[in-house]
A and B are shown apart, each in its own frame.
Chain A
Amino acid sequence: DQQVKQNSPSLSVQEGRISILNCDYTNSMFDYFLWYKKYPAEGPTFLISISSIKDKNEDGRFTVFLNKSAKHLSLHIVPSQPGDSAVYFCAAPPQGGSEKLVFGKGTKLTVNP
């Protein structure tokens, strides 16, 4: 049973436009969410997080939105840059700690110049 779902395997956008990556979850006990970015042949790197007490968290060009009633979160990248091309994973810790993160399958973002 997949508790964190990223239903779009890939997304392609033009440089300068907005990228929106989506993530759904099924476990209502999740109270913290993270986005990781992964380049080929590298490990995932932490990008941004959000606690369930918030519905939005912003860090520069990256904003994560959380809709608890819909069990849905999204990552917005504005403006998108070619260097943002990577695989983006949504993740959540099932027991409130960060040790046992549950990852989605990832969305491969391609930003075209």
Chain B
Amino acid sequence: NAGVMQNPRHLVRRRGQEARLRCSPMKGHSHVYWYRQLPEEGLKFMVYLQKENIIDESGMPKERFSAEFPKEGPSILRIQQVVRGDSAAYFCASSRGPNEKLFFGSGTQLSVL
């Protein structure tokens, strides 16, 4: 009965590189959410996806960030040309449907050197 799986747990990138964060939702869940936690801050909503659809990306930075949840495979959060300010913990959550309880993964800690 695996929960939400995120990998990698830790990711180190140099400035200008690309970061790819993966999230596999809980079994039976078709809704995925990405949140970011900057140091000393609370979690901030980034994007909400269903299979093959972006439902709400109002929390995503306008440039360099993108997310997808393909028909097959995990959801991917992609950050192009990373900068030091992207260093944060990125959490994925999933739910069975809208307005259902969110279950969070353990997060990916991104460090940009």
Across the interface, do B42 and A104 meet the contact criterion of CB distance under 8 Å? yes
**Interface: B52 (CB within 8 A):** no
Across the interface, do A99 and B42 meet the contact criterion of CB distance under 8 Å? no
Shortest Cβ distance from residue B5 to the other chain A in the assembled complex, whole angstroms: 11
**Interface: B59 (CB within 8 A):** yes
Contact with A43, one of B44, B58, B91 (Cβ below 8 angstroms): B91
On chain B, the number of residues with a Cβ less than 8 Å from chain A's Cβ atoms is: 30
**Docked CA distance A55–B102 (Å):** 23
Q: In terms of DSSP, what is the predominant structure of the interface of chain A?
A: loop
Which residues of A have CB within 8 Å of B105?
Answer: 43
**Docked CA distance A102–B58 (Å):** 13
Across the interface, do A101 and B101 meet the contact criterion of CB distance under 8 Å? no
Residues of B26-49 contacting chain A, CB below 8 A: 31, 33, 35, 40-45, 48
Contact with B33, one of A36, A99, A104 (Cβ below 8 angstroms): A99
Across the interface, do B104 and A100 meet the contact criterion of CB distance under 8 Å? no
**Interface: A98 (CB within 8 A):** yes
Across the interface, do B45 and A43 meet the contact criterion of CB distance under 8 Å? no
**Interface: A25 (CB within 8 A):** no
**Docked CA distance A100–B34 (Å):** 10
1/0 per residue, CB under 8 A from A, across B1-20: the answer is 00010100100000000000
Which residues of B have CB within 8 Å of A103?
Answer: 35, 42-44
**Interface: B66 (CB within 8 A):** no
**Interface: B93 (CB within 8 A):** yes
**Docked CA distance A104–B44 (Å):** 9
Q: Would you list the 7 A-B pairs with minimal beta carbon distance, nearest first?
A: A43-B104, A103-B42, A103-B43, A100-B45, A105-B42, A97-B99, A99-B48
Known contacts A46-B102, A101-B45, A104-B42; can you find 18 more A-B pairs with CB under 8 A? A36-B104, A42-B106, A43-B4, A43-B107, A46-B103, A89-B43, A98-B98, A98-B99, A98-B102, A99-B31, A99-B98, A100-B58, A101-B35, A101-B102, A102-B45, A103-B44, A105-B41, A106-B42
Enumerate chain A interface residues (CB-CB to B < 8 A). Answer: 4, 6, 36, 41-46, 89, 91, 96-106
